[in-house]
Structure 1
């Protein structure tokens, strides 16, 4: 019995060339009629490493399968791919390799694009996007200026996950067991002044339009909780012997008479500064220890912890000193 050898490199190369000559995703059908469009959007990868890894493909394979399914139903598939090529990951990779980021980013893009084509993923390369292309980012800049003029973009100091080795901020998904997914360094929290978008201005519309979405109720509830609209009041608590005030938000102002203590998040701008000489060491240790925990871990901790700063706030209703 003769053995048939499957030469995948030769066979796949042959068919890639055939598909390049006769694309499988034409805009018209066999009769020359325009096909209905189906839009499938993936999150763009940032090309900061040596190339595509299995984690990328794990995320993209589902949309590729879905695109092929819709293709068989007679649609023209609008499935763009692009490159989130600006930012610290790309810069840090360039620094590590000792190459100008324009050069290293272009090389990484070309390499990942080659890998995607070898997988024969169904992407519409006519709609390729690169965030470092001036023809692209002139529009993101235009949108930002519009938002700024409308009061929707503002600066605020806010804590982020920070990798001291990569010197970059990390999304929660990039923190694995408290360590940077890329280099394994312990991740800390760092306050950074950064641009924020005031989506709270659209809370009503976001909430109202959830009913128009064909999503599972569980997911819609998560969205509503994330939008987090509630009705309440902001109340200023003066700090004893200092000019600063602590502003709290409450949905139950009537309970303020019974306030017994005031809590600040460890990353609050005033937290370290409110420590007295006697409590300074304990406060700084608590802030550091908290910075080593992820947001998820802190939310899931059943036991509530804290340390006394040594300072007091004054209850504006009762005048009582509140530790």
Structure 2
């Protein structure tokens, strides 16, 4: 690990000003991903600004504004606290399931909600500094494109990058139409719809999000919805625990008797960002919640997949996983 300066911020304005003064500094919260990247010489900040003690951890009902009646989750709250909070468990069980499907209890006790969204890909070519990687070193090429790409993208990839985004929590947030509140050193706090927060690689794979330089995630807002009774997070992986998803599916359904009035589906493990299954959602709305319609919606979504040399299995796996997750959501988590 390279030498760095350590600074502890006492409040949000101080943290933001310090980051503005040093473009090569990074915020340090839980550190569960950043410190690993520093040890591997992937990230090389010359200063860490410790924001872990800032008062941005509250979970509360939103009293006013466009998401009134929903829930606000502090950006510096721990994943464990978010997963187990009564407001989340009762109203957004999909989010609780997704958080608990990720990592170990020890990591969830350290990892922050904002930091979870900012974790970087686990692509082995990104972590290995001896290999070409446009995300780590723009212009060097993508080692995974013609290399071993079993774990990589089948949607939205470009010739510059085929890496996938690793967070489970973010897949649920995508399905829940979350909003990310961020604050920079200049200007008022702004709100980013979750669909616009992460980026596809295109020609700039080094840019994971649409955050401006030095902005800090202050909170996540969950709009009020009626998905609680019919939602499910399905994670398919190589082993039963502590593994990243081959494919994951977050589903939320609103029903009038057995007719689907609203559907939200997001996929993980298949793209550079949480992948919203808009085609499948559109086909399901107004339909009866039946096997036939589930299969048709899943097939329509996966028809646009573009697998690489070693991950063609993800297309069929994704199709089956969407159908399975829809059934689990319909049956309130029961097989």
TM > 0.5 fold call? no
TM, length-normalised to structure 1: 0.28
TM, length-normalised to structure 2: 0.28
Greater helix proportion: 1
Larger Rg belongs to: 1
More relative contact order, 1 or 2 (CA 8 Å, 6+ apart): 2
